[in-house]
């Protein structure tokens, strides 16, 4: 929370989701100085955009609250938001990272009182809600945002709205002259925890994502169920705002498919099983879920969660890779395919289709340092050639939260081993 000078005994953590926060906090609570770099304006990453976790159906924001409290009390972690690592030079024990920091246009005087938000008229897409809704161009990224500080969308800079925001702030927190800057940060070791992105569902052409409004992705569905989401927690279909009660979940949307992602993304089966709970929670009387699957991968202790969902009469399972989706005259999404258990053809309309999209590592295609070894899917491998850059969480494999936390904790130790050596050499 406070500024400390980064040295080659500092650990640089790239990515402020659950993995990055875990790596940073575990290292800091072991007495190491950490610089935590997050590209979004607030920490939390994708888990903070989930409504509930499997299998406990508890809320990710609960664990986030604990992690944020750990962070607020720990002067060893310096947090940089709206920041991206653009270059990494040096070697084990002696790295220099170039970090590009975008302007927030709001300084630390901000009290999160919300006066700027009320003053501004422009609405912009809300990425926290996967652009399913909009928010004001002066916004707090989410209810749990840390830093708890507003952001001005660059779209209004130079407009009258920006001036309104500045005029509304009694505390001199709005600073329209902020510029993008690039800083250099020293580090002895790096934990690369840039997480994952949902596979681009539009690439699965037969499913019509982007063409049919009532075909959405599993991550978008999380936002529909969440009270902080665009519908205030109501499951409404995007085309006409009607209650979506008959919902299809399509597994392996992009995963286990050589045309898309070769790997199994591990979490999607459990995520869909979990999401059937949302349907029952919101529509206890007449909600209906159908899961189209190849194999249900409710791995290890999660099996009993699967068994409970199987016992629920409102949920049916169809072993089938859906061949295509069409749209009928009522706006329903119609699933076509063959149920391989008994080889029966089906043509089934649903109010809403949720594509359980796969996990693609975020490192793929973005600025990872050239010498970092990743497998052909883009996951960082454990390879001596990586020096003291350690992949963690979903940057290293398709993982659920508990495995991502394990991975991040392990990565933190690997980083500590390096900076301990540096400290010993310097002593």
Partner 1 sequence: MADIKVAAYICKGCGLGERLDTDALVKIAQKDGKVPLAKSHDFLCNADGVAMIRNDIANEGVTHIMIGACSRRAKTEAFFFPENAVARANLREGVIWIRPDTDEARETTQEMAEDYIRMGCAEVKSMTAPGGNTNTGSSKTLLVVGGGVTGMTTAIEASKTGYPVVLVEKTGELGGWAARLYKRVPVHEPYKSPADTGVGDLVAQVQGDSNIKVYLNATVAKTDGAPGRFVVDIATESGATHTEDIGAIVQASGFTLYDMNKLPELGGGKSPNVVDQAGLEALAKAAAAGDGVIRRPSDGQPVKSVVFVQCAGQRDPSGTHLAYCSGVCCNTSIKQAMYFKDANPSVDTTIIYTDLRTPGNGEDFYRSAQEKGVIFTKGKVAQVLPNGATSTVKFHDLILDDTDAAMADVDLVVLATGQVANSGVDIFAAPKTAEEEAAVEVKPISILNLTYRQGPDVPQLKQGFTDSHFICFPYETRRTGIYTAGPVRRPMDIAQAREDATGAALKAIQALENAELGRAAHPRSGDLSFPKVRLEGCTQCKRCTVECPFGAIDEDEKRFPVFNESRCRRCGTCMGACPVRVISFENYSVNSVGAQIKAVDIPDEFSEKPRILILACENDAYPALDMAGMNRNEYSAFVRVIPIRCLGSVNTIWVTDALNAGYDGVMMMGCKSGDEYQCHFVKGSELGRVRMSKIDDTLKTLNLESERVRDLEVAITDIERVPEMINKYAAELVAVGPSPFKGF
Q: Closer to partner 1 by CB, 121 or 303: give it.
A: 303
DSSP state for residue 314 in the 8-state scheme: T
Residue placing its CB nearer to partner 1 in the complex, 78 or 164: 78
Write down the least CB distance from residue 89 to partner 1, Å.
25
Helices 18-28 and 60-72 cross at an angle (nearest 10°) of: 30
Q: What are phi and psi of 68, to 5 degrees?
A: -70, -35
Toward partner 1, which CB reaches closer, 215 or 394? 394
Minimum CB separation from partner 1 for residue 263, in Å? 5
Phi, psi of 277 (to 5 degrees): -65, -35
In angstroms, give the least distance from the CB of 407 to partner 1.
6
Strand partners, 127: none
Cβ atoms 396, 196 nearer than 8 A: no
The minimum distance between CB 384 and partner 1, in angstroms, equals 12
Strand ranges of the sheet holding 246-253, from the earlier edge strand across to the other edge = 215-217, 352-357, 246-253, 288-293, 315-319
Torsion of CA 225, 228, 229, 231, to 10 degrees: 80
Q: Residue 143 or residue 160: which is nearer to partner 1 going by CB?
A: 143
11 near 32, Cβ under 8 Å?
Answer: yes
Q: How far is the CB of 42 from partner 1 (least distance, A)?
A: 14
Q: Which is nearer to partner 1, 94 or 406 (CB)?
A: 406
242 in helix, strand or coil?
coil
In whole angstroms, the minimum distance from the beta carbon of 330 to partner 1 comes to: 31
Q: Which two tokens stand for residue 216?
A: 């959405």
- Separation between Cα atoms, residue 327 and residue 313, nearest integer Å: 26
| 60 vs 337 by CB, closer to partner 1 | 60
Q: Which is nearer to partner 1, 237 or 297 (CB)?
A: 297
Question: To the nearest whole angstrom, how small is the minimum distance from the Cβ of residue 331 to partner 1?
Answer: 29
Rg (CA), the chain: 23
């Amino acid at each position: 929370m406070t500024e400390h000078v980064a040295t080659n005994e500092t650990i640089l953590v790239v990515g402020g989701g659950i993995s990055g926060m875990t790596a940073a906090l575990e290292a800091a609570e072991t007495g190491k100085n950490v610089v935590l770099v997050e590209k979004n304006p607030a920490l939390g990453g994708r888990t903070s955009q989930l409504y509930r976790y499997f299998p406990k159906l508890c809320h990710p924001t609960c664990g986030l609250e604990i992690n944020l409290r750990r962070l607020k009390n720990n002067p060893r972690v310096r947090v940089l938001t709206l920041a991206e690592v653009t270059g990494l030079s040096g070697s084990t024990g002696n790295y220099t990272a170039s970090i590009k920091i975008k302007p927030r246009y709001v300084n630390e005087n901000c009290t999160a009182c919300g006066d700027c938000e009320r003053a501004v008229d422009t609405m912009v897409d809300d990425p926290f809600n996967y652009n399913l809704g909009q928010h004001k161009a002066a916004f707090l990224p989410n209810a749990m945002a840390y830093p708890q500080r507003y952001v001005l969308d660059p779209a209004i800079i130079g407009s009258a709205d920006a001036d309104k925001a500045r005029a509304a702030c009694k505390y001199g927190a709005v600073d329209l002259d902020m510029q993008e800057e690039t800083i250099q940060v020293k580090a002895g070791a790096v934990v690369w925890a840039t997480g994952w992105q949902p596979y681009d569902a539009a690439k699965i052409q037969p499913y019509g994502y982007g063409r049919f409004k009532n075909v959405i992705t599993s991550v978008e569905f999380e936002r529909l169920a969440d009270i902080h989401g665009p519908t205030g927690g109501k499951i409404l279909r995007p085309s006409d705002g009607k209650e979506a009660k008959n919902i299809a979940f399509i597994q392996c949307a992009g995963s286990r498919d050589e045309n898309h992602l070769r790997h199994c993304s591990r979490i999607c089966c459990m995520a869909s099983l979990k999401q059937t709970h949302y349907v029952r929670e919101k529509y206890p009387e007449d909600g209906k879920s159908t899961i189209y699957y190849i194999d249900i991968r409710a791995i290890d202790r999660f099996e009993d969660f699967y068994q409970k969902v199987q016992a629920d009469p409102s949920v049916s399972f169809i072993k089938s890779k859906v061949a295509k989706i069409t749209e009928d005259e009522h706006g329903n999404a119609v699933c076509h395919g063959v149920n391989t258990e008994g080889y029966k053809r089906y043509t089934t309309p649903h109010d809403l289709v949720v594509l359980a999209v796969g996990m693609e590592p975020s490192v793929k295609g973005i600025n990872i340092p050239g010498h970092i070894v990743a497998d052909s899917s883009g996951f960082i491998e454990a390879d001596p050639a990586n020096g003291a850059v350690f992949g963690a969480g979903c940057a290293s494999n398709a993982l659920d939260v508990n495995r991502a936390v394990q991975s991040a904790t392990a990565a933190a130790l690997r980083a500590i081993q390096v900076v301990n050596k540096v400290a010993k050499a310097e002593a």
